[in-house]
Structure 1
């Protein structure tokens, strides 16, 4: 029988206590309170207890994340880490009290009858290790749930036997000395999903990545006959597990409050939110910096990200119930929603180019007009030097037939339109880009290839706008903070047939 030692599992996370050191001596403020404590306070107690509390917080955050993650190795890792954490807490508490369960239960009952004058007792060691112990015992309820989830995740990816913590030699037909394999749960498990081909060559060629062209209203050949992409799993967190985690977190809050005030703990949930906003969102001060501009009507500010951020990597599992980046940080809306239709500025980065990504029969094109402030532009683009391009932006008339719209869309995507204007442009800081955007809200039945009547076709909501955007900041990851403004709303186009 193979024996496993769980010390090889992922680290419990960084214990970051900003601006303080856990090894801080603490002295009770009252001899009475010191006599009421079961153990004398010392810096070693607070150091060890603080580490255990922080580890337990980090572990609970990782467990919550693993509940909805399709990667089986996440479940395997937190399952082993939970066992180690519970045993470590039990060992620590047993050094403080012979029968911690009975003592902590009696301590909790007696504290209910204490006078508020004895509130300082909450800083006694008993009021730290009791909530810590009770919280860890609450987490024990998760083991059956994690076992079930581990079995379910095994239906999605390979759960192979892990080598011993000391490593195991693997047979190798070439090397004289067989390599040693060590256990590692950091890498995602190998998915059972069918191989997904890279169909990027199916996009119409341009230096920037163009969206795939789907013909509306008629059948078209596909790159691979009868190919259907694998269906991504839908994973919801069990309510019982979420309730257990919430209870354990609430209990552990009492332990955190009992530490000296100079000892602080990091909240992994809050840290995750800050890191996500740092990766995908605006800085909190940016709207304040441009507050004067944002007071103008129909203006806004948002962050333009690389197109790869919105794409799931091939041959990787994804929980389709979890909101993706485009849902958490949607493209800015350009107007007020009418009958569920609200045009947006679908702007991404493709390498070093701004790329307008339109769906259905939508299409857009843009022009770099140089260093012209947004507040100097108007609906007639009078601040832009007179040129055929300016006239084309103002006077272009879209076709009114569905087939002609799709042909026109292809022309713009490939740069073969009569003006040579493209749906992308080189990204330049502090340059202004004027955009003509045409958008149509096609019904789902039409997108699925089902026919609709001429009357329904004519009633499709649509918009035709001239707007401008200006990148005002470039970040190290290549993304831009962009200001935008709607300059003119032209009569909505209609599809006659």
Structure 2
């Protein structure tokens, strides 16, 4: 018989959200035979029961994660752990009473009819029955997990497992073949995914067919995995039973919730620290200000040749970019600031673009709408810049700031869309954002009816903002905590030729 029992521990990294629930898998890392061994009759009821309750809490958290994760090995891990855990609980229950079902269903106050049950107090019987009932609920998950594992086999390679103790692979040449052990701590190999590492493509030109680094290449579509309702219902019922059991233990608050731990670790990885808003409370009292953690752009990207549930909330969805306030037209621009290498840059879509300069160590609270603290050439450029009003010219303008070429600003410096990240420097940004209709973003030819609907648009939703931000902390992972402030809101820029933009 092959035991399926290994935890899946993903590396803690920026690129992939760490699976913190799996840290608790080490509790199952001891020999499965040991966990099923008979315990002495004078065992401490509360010690053993609390251990089983905590194991069950941890296991349910891992099951909840596995049923929405594409990785087949993680599903196999929890399926094996479910088998081992339910047997451990059954063994414990049978040592207390030979008829746990009768004891828990009858709910009698007197326990003399049940062998060994007379040794239990009323609180212990409640714990005993909660464990029994929750264990019966978890057994319902076994066929569901079996079915889900077969579906995971459509996404990644499911190898046959060697024994837990390892087994030798037959080899016609080597007299002593190497011992192979289970590898459920590694991700299963996805099928037919060999994604080329071609780097980030340049922004597409709307209205023109875009060239790709590899002709006719289409990136693989990630699976959409929704948790089965029957599994969630079963887990919710088992959780409710365990919650009732926890209050009966003599020591309160001795159980840990792995999902709460996971949420704390996730915030630690991607969000600002809780004390940072308090540290900068005086600045944050000013209007149109905020605090934000700027992450490397890799945090928002899926690693190559890996599977990811596209229904799972992404980093940008869990920790959205700061909103810069509503414009009169009802548009809400954002500060999509990221780190690309060692440079700050704004990630935008469509024809959005921006440009920024490093002002040096200028206090953020000394900047005001007229930019008196800024050198005159830079001040005049940022305050007097007028964006083009034609779609093609907007895209040409964006490329000027991205590349630094063909700039005729009459300045002694090149104005770029990004700037080298420096701690305790203040950066001045002019940000232009447009909410283009999908029919324009798709870059396809428009029908006469669609052009007519575009002509009926009275005002394009857009924004043009002058922003300043200052990094005040750098972490070892390369991310920065920044303070930001909206200094000035310019009139909303317009595009005059939208109705003809789809002609080709």
TM range (shorter): 0.7 to 0.9
CA distance in 1, matches of 2:293, 2:464: 23
2:243 pairs with 1:253? yes
1:256 Cα deviation from its structure 2 partner: 1.1
Query: Structure 2 length normalisation: TM-score?
Result: 0.84
CA distance in 1, matches of 2:174, 2:476: 42
1:352 Cα deviation from its structure 2 partner: 2.3
| Counterpart among 397, 414, 423 of residue 403 in structure 2 | 414
CA distance in 2, matches of 1:139, 1:59: 10
The answer to whether the Cα contact below 8 Å between 1:303 and 1:479 also exists between their aligned partners in 2 is yes
| Counterpart among 432, 443, 446 of residue 437 in structure 2 | 443
Over 3 Å counting, the alpha-carbon distance change for 1:377 and 1:171 in structure 2 is farther
Aligned residues: 451
Aligned to 2:333: 343
Query: Structure 1 length normalisation: TM-score?
Result: 0.85
Aligned to 1:221: 211
CA distance in 1, matches of 2:366, 2:178: 67
Alpha-carbon displacement from aligned partner over 1:140-184 (angstroms, at most 9, x marks no partner): 111121111111111111112111222233467998854322102
The answer to whether the Cα contact below 8 Å between 2:169 and 2:179 also exists between their aligned partners in 1 is yes
1:44 Cα deviation from its structure 2 partner: 2.6
Tell me the C-alpha RMSD between the 2 structures.
2.5
CA distance in 2, matches of 1:172, 1:392: 74
The answer to whether the Cα contact below 8 Å between 2:169 and 2:180 also exists between their aligned partners in 1 is yes
CA distance in 1, matches of 2:440, 2:456: 10
Aligned to 2:492: 492
CA distance in 1, matches of 2:261, 2:145: 25
Unpaired runs of 5+ in structure 1?
A: 17-40, 112-120, 204-211
1:15 Cα deviation from its structure 2 partner: 6.0
2:66 pairs with 1:66? yes
1:131 Cα deviation from its structure 2 partner: 0.8
Unpaired runs of 5+ in structure 2?
A: 9-21, 29-40, 111-119, 498-504
2:310 pairs with 1:312? no
1:50 Cα deviation from its structure 2 partner: 1.5
1:409 Cα deviation from its structure 2 partner: 0.8
1:46 Cα deviation from its structure 2 partner: 2.0
The answer to whether the Cα contact below 8 Å between 1:15 and 1:54 also exists between their aligned partners in 2 is no
CA distance in 2, matches of 1:333, 1:415: 28
1:62 Cα deviation from its structure 2 partner: 0.4
CA distance in 1, matches of 2:291, 2:126: 48
| Counterpart among 2, 5, 10 of residue 3 in structure 2 | 5
Aligned to 2:420: 426
The answer to whether the Cα contact below 8 Å between 2:327 and 2:463 also exists between their aligned partners in 1 is no
CA distance in 2, matches of 1:73, 1:148: 14
CA distance in 1, matches of 2:289, 2:172: 65
Aligned to 1:397: 386
Alpha-carbon displacement from aligned partner over 1:33-85 (angstroms, at most 9, x marks no partner): xxxxxxxx987322221111111100000000111111111111111100100
Q: Structure 2 matches for 1:467-486, cutoff 5 A?
A: 467-486=467-486
The answer to whether the Cα contact below 8 Å between 2:427 and 2:470 also exists between their aligned partners in 1 is yes
Over 3 Å counting, the alpha-carbon distance change for 1:458 and 1:154 in structure 2 is same
| Counterpart among 307, 314, 319 of residue 329 in structure 1 | 319
1:458 Cα deviation from its structure 2 partner: 7.3
2:345 pairs with 1:355? yes
Alpha-carbon displacement from aligned partner over 1:8-36 (angstroms, at most 9, x marks no partner): 555863569xxxxxxxxxxxxxxxxxxxx
Aligned to 1:78: 78
CA distance in 2, matches of 1:220, 1:457: 27
Alpha-carbon displacement from aligned partner over 1:327-348 (angstroms, at most 9, x marks no partner): 1111101112666631111101
Over 3 Å counting, the alpha-carbon distance change for 1:371 and 1:9 in structure 2 is closer
Over 3 Å counting, the alpha-carbon distance change for 1:170 and 1:380 in structure 2 is farther
